[in-house]
């Protein structure tokens, strides 16, 4: 059996205070990766695994700075940063395939999922993500939220991605709610910029829990 050594960061979430929905909100929009699902360590490992094949060291600081950008866009930024000439579309899709192989490792962000369950049926809700739609639906289902989000706007649905407001404006349109009455829950700087550019109420969910990083572990036989 082929044994693959994969470095992954083990994270623990410590809840600092409860999230709540603003009483002015008539619709709620959630980012997905890093907001509903603690997928960021898994995404990072997928990027690292693929980029190692191209002799590119992908620092976590750059990964964090590019959070919210689709994989192809990330590869374009890496080409600009390192002066490389990778086929961004090809390598981006390789990364997504690697992520799909590992995505069973994701965990829910408990304080956000708790808020979603409490708000279900009270207000229209949507997911606005920079990820690909097929994987976003799969993430939703893995977390047991299939019945909570009939509306999902992904990278294929808009031409301009975060920090542009298009993703969240499309969510508002599909929910039938004016942007000013929408509240967005996000973890990424680009996503928060997008929410504010859309004229929406923006909440940085990282202020409500603390991520503690543990030791790397080896995953065998994946």
> Taking Cα atoms as reference points, which of 156, 122, 125, 150 lies closest to residue 137?
150
> Mind listing the pLDDT tens digit for each residue in 171-220?
999 999 999 999 999 998 999 999 999 999 999 998 876 644 332 334 33
What integer is the mean pLDDT of 38-54?
91
Which one of the listed residues 31, 33, 38, 166 is annotated catalytic?
31
Model confidence at 222: pLDDT above 50? no
- Report the CATH number that the domain containing residue 83 is assigned in CATH: 1.10.150
Q: Give the predicted TM-score (pTM) of the model.
A: 0.77
Whole-angstrom Cα distance, residue 128 to residue 191? 9
Residue 148 near residue 53 (C-beta atoms within 8 A): no
96 and 139 part of one domain: no
> Mind listing the pLDDT tens digit for each residue in 119-168?
999 999 999 999 889 999 999 999 999 999 999 999 999 999 999 999 99
Whole-angstrom Cα distance, residue 158 to residue 138? 20
Which residues are registered as beta bridge partners of 151?
A: 126
Which residues are registered as beta bridge partners of 119?
A: none
Kindly state whether residue 143 falls inside one of the protein's structural domains. yes
93 and 125 part of one domain: no
Q: Classify residue 77 as exposed, middle or buried by CB count within 10 Å of its CB (0-12, 13-18, 19+).
A: middle
User: Where in 86-162 does DSSP place strands (E)?
Assistant: 107-108, 125-128, 151-153
What integer is the mean pLDDT of 31-46?
90
132 and 197 part of one domain: yes
Q: Is 31 annotated in the active site? A: yes
């Amino acid at each position: 059996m082929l044994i693959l050594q994969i470095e992954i960061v083990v994270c623990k979430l410590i809840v600092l205070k409860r999230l709540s929905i603003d009483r002015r909100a008539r619709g709620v929009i959630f980012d997905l990766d890093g907001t509903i699902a603690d997928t960021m360590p898994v995404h990072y490992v997928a990027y690292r695994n693929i980029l190692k094949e191209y002799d590119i060291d992908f620092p976590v600081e750059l990964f964090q700075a590019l959070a919210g950008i689709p994989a192809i866009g990330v590869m374009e930024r890496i080409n600009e940063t390192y002066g490389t000439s990778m086929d961004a579309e090809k390598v981006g899709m390789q990364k997504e395939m690697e992520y799909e192989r590992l995505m069973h490792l994701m965990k829910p962000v408990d304080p956000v999922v708790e808020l979603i369950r409490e708000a279900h049926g009270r207000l229209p809700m949507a997911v606005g993500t920079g990820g690909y739609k097929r994987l976003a639906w799969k993430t939703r289902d893995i977390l047991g939220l299939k019945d909570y989000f009939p509306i999902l706007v992904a990278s294929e649905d808009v031409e301009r991605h975060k920090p542009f407001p298009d993703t969240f404006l499309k969510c508002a349109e599909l929910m039938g709610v004016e942007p000013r009455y929408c509240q967005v829950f996000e973890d990424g700087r680009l996503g928060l910029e997008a929410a504010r550019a859309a004229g929406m109420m923006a909440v940085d969910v990282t202020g409500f829990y603390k991520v503690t990083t543990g030791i790397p572990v080896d995953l065998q036989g994946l």
